[in-house]
A and B are shown apart, each in its own frame.
Chain A
Amino acid sequence: MKWKNLLKVAFKSIIKNKMRTLLTMLGIIIGVAAVIVMVAIGKGAEKRIQDQIASMGTNLITIFPGSMQSRGVRMGPDSGVRLTLDDVELLKKNATLIQAVSPMVRTGAQLIGGSGNWNSSVWGVSEQYLEIRDWPLSSGEFFSSADIRTQNKVCIIGQTIVKNLFANDDPVGQQLRVGKIPFRIIGVLKEKGQGAFGQDQDDLLIAPYSTVLYRMSGHVHVNQILVRAVSLEQMTQAQAEITSILRGAHKIAEGEDDDFTVRNQTDIAATAEETTQVLTILLTSIASISLLVGGIGIMNIMLVSVTERTHEIGIRMAIGARSRDILVQFLIEAIVLSLSGGLIGVLLGFLATWIVGLVTDWNTVIVPANVLLSFGFAGAVGVFFGYYPARKAAALNPIEALRYE
Chain B
Amino acid sequence: MSGQHSVIRTEKISKVYDSGEVQVEALKGIDLTIDPGELVAIMGASGSGKSTMLNILGCLDYPSGGEYYLDGIHVNELDRDQLADIRNRKIGFVFQGFNLLARTTAFENVELPLLYSRLQESVDVAQLTRLALERVGLSERARHFPNQLSGGQQQRVAIARALVNRPAMVLADEPTGNLDTRTSIEIMATFQELNRQGITIILVTHEHDIADYCKRIIEFRDGRIIRDQEVARPRDARQDLEAGHWQASGLGDRP
* Interface of A toward B, CB cutoff 8 Å: 1-2, 5, 12, 16, 311-312, 314-325, 398-399, 402
Contacts and interface: CB of A to CB of B under 8 A. Distances in A.
Contacts of A321: 84, 88, 116
Given A2-B115, A323-B81, A324-B81, A318 B58 contact: yes
A320 B116 contact: yes
A96 to B, nearest CB: 84
Contact of B120 (A2, A12, A398): A2
B73 interface: no
A317 B55 contact: no
Nearest to A395: B80
B116 A316 contact: yes
Interface residues of B, number: 27
B101 A312 contact: yes
B87 interface: yes
Contact of A5 (B58, B89, B93, B115): B115
B100 to A, nearest CB: 8
Contacts of B61: 399
B93 to A, nearest CB: 5
Contacts of B85: 320, 322
B60 A399 contact: yes
Contacts of A316: 112, 116
Contacts of B95: 402
Given A2-B115, A5-B115, A315 B99 contact: yes
Contacts of B113: 319-320
Nearest to B111: A5
A323 B87 contact: no
29 contacts: A1-B115, A16-B103, A312-B101, A314-B99, A315-B99, A315-B100, A316-B112, A316-B116, A318-B60, A319-B88, A319-B113, A319-B116, A320-B85, A320-B87, A320-B88, A320-B113, A320-B116, A321-B84, A321-B116, A322-B80, A322-B81, A322-B84, A322-B85, A322-B116, A323-B80, A323-B81, A398-B60, A399-B61, A402-B95
A258 B112 CA distance: 85
B161 interface: yes
A401 to B, nearest CB: 10
A328 to B, nearest CB: 12
A311 B89 CA distance: 21
A319 B95 CA distance: 12
A325 B87 CA distance: 14
Nearest to B171: A318
B117 interface: yes
Given A319-B87, A320-B165, 15 more contacts: A2-B115, A12-B103, A312-B101, A316-B112, A318-B87, A318-B99, A319-B93, A319-B112, A320-B85, A320-B89, A320-B113, A320-B116, A322-B81, A325-B116, A399-B55
